[in-house]
């Protein structure tokens, strides 16, 4: 497989994935990462986004959750669990309504059947949105969610608008031009 310039740059810098550049651009534009932030990374494997948070703001505390294995990152608390079971993780559950930032680069395994894939993406986005709303600070929390351009995109954006004072859409430069992925940003939960 041919590695693109973003993947090569990530490898050269010792980063876990090219996706870090997508998050970095959104964080720069939204100014949503601050010193001493409490961050929840949903769907964290392979760990690129958690790694970036610790590089940009070493004083931040990061909790990461994924069904897949993630190699350890210093000062990142990783839990191998389904996001739908996040309340069962005592250490995270105790922090409800305390997170400054929830980030999610989560995507389901794709089947190649559009209707099935779109519904799976939407359901996973809803679970992640519910998690963000439950775990973010109400006054000034921020949420970054990966989704895809498809027939349910407007529906997930509407759900975001019901739950946040501000919602924006981003297509970072590091996203492959042929990819349908986009990122929704929500600020200040309602």
Contact (CB, 8 A) for 102 and 42: yes
Q: Where are the beta strands (DSSP E) in the chain?
A: 38-42, 61-66, 76-80, 101-104, 142-148, 164-170, 181-189
Token pair in block for residue 140: 């000034």
Cα separation values, 87 from 8, 33, 36, 43, 79, Å: 37, 24, 23, 15, 12
The residue annotated as part of the active site, out of 11, 54, 137, 146, is 146
79: Cα separation from own chain's centroid: 15
CB atoms within 10 A of CB 182: 18
Burial grade of 68 (CB within 10 A; 0-12, 13-18, 19 or more): exposed
48 touches 17 (CB < 8 A)? yes
Active site residue 146: yes
Q: Confirm if 79 and 63 have CB atoms less than 8 A apart.
A: yes
Q: Please identify every residue annotated as catalytic.
A: 146
């Amino acid at each position: 497989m041919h590695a693109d310039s973003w993947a090569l740059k990530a490898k050269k810098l010792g980063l876990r994935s090219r996706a870090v550049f997508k998050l970095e651009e959104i964080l720069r534009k939204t100014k949503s990462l601050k010193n001493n932030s409490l961050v929840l990374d949903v769907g964290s494997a392979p760990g690129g986004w958690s790694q970036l948070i610790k590089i940009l703001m070493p004083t931040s505390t990061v909790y990461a959750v994924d069904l897949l294995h993630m190699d350890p990152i210093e000062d990142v608390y990783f839990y191998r669990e389904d996001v739908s079971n996040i309340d069962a993780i005592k250490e995270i559950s105790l922090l409800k309504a305390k997170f400054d930032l929830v980030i999610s680069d989560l995507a389901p395994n794709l089947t190649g059947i559009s209707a099935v894939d779109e519904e799976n993406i939407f359901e996973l986005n809803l679970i992640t949105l519910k998690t963000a709303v439950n775990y973010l600070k109400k006054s000034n929390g921020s949420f970054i969610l990966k989704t895809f351009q498809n027939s349910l995109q407007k529906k997930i954006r509407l759900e975001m608008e019901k739950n946040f004072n501000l919602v924006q859409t981003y297509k970072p430069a590091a996203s492959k031009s042929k990819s349908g992925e986009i990122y929704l940003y929500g600020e200040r939960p309602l």
